[in-house]
Amino acid sequence: MRQRPCAIIIKDNKILVMKRVRDNTTYFTFPGGHVEENEDLQTTLKREIEEELNFDIMNFKEIFRVSDFSPRDNDNVESIFYLISDFKGELQLGGPEIERMKTGKNNYYPTWYNKKEFSGLDPIYPIGIKNFILDKLFR
């Protein structure tokens, strides 16, 4: 089973979620990514957040794990969520996501949502994270 570290970033009562449009299907997920050879989860998280969002994260802690079936992997993927409590940088999409957007078939839009907006997003992957956030983080 592949592991995927993911970031939950909350600032000013808003949460950062990645709106994805892939092959004309819209869904929502969280920044994070693939563990490369010789990387641990925390190193991957820091690298992915810097690449994807232009954020340097300083303080974070694991708060939730969930396994979900991934059609892309044809297997379960364990998503490990970290709450980011301190970061610096200006939000700017980067990394491989920029290159993928050039095809027009795989688009990434990191967006800040308040609680009401977040609660209306559907679908959010992986299944289970939306309720966790609404129950535990957005009280």
- Give me the CATH topology for the region 2-137: Nucleoside Triphosphate Pyrophosphohydrolase (3.90.79)
CA distance 58 to 90: 15
Q: Is the pLDDT of residue 114 over 80?
A: yes
The H or E element spanning position 11 is strand 2-11
The tokens for 110 are 């990191």
CA distance 82 to 61: 5
Three-class secondary structure of residue 113 per DSSP: strand
Residue 72: predicted pLDDT: 67
Residue 71: predicted pLDDT: 66
CB 127 within 8 A of CB 30: no
The tokens for 49 are 């957040």
Residue 90: predicted pLDDT: 96
Residue 82: predicted pLDDT: 98
Task: Express each pLDDT in 3-27 by its tens digit.
Answer: 999 999 999 999 999 999 988 899 9
Task: Express each pLDDT in 38-97 by its tens digit.
Answer: 999 999 999 999 999 999 999 999 999 999 877 666 788 999 999 998 999 999 999 889
More confident residue, 103 or 89: 89
Residue 81: predicted pLDDT: 98
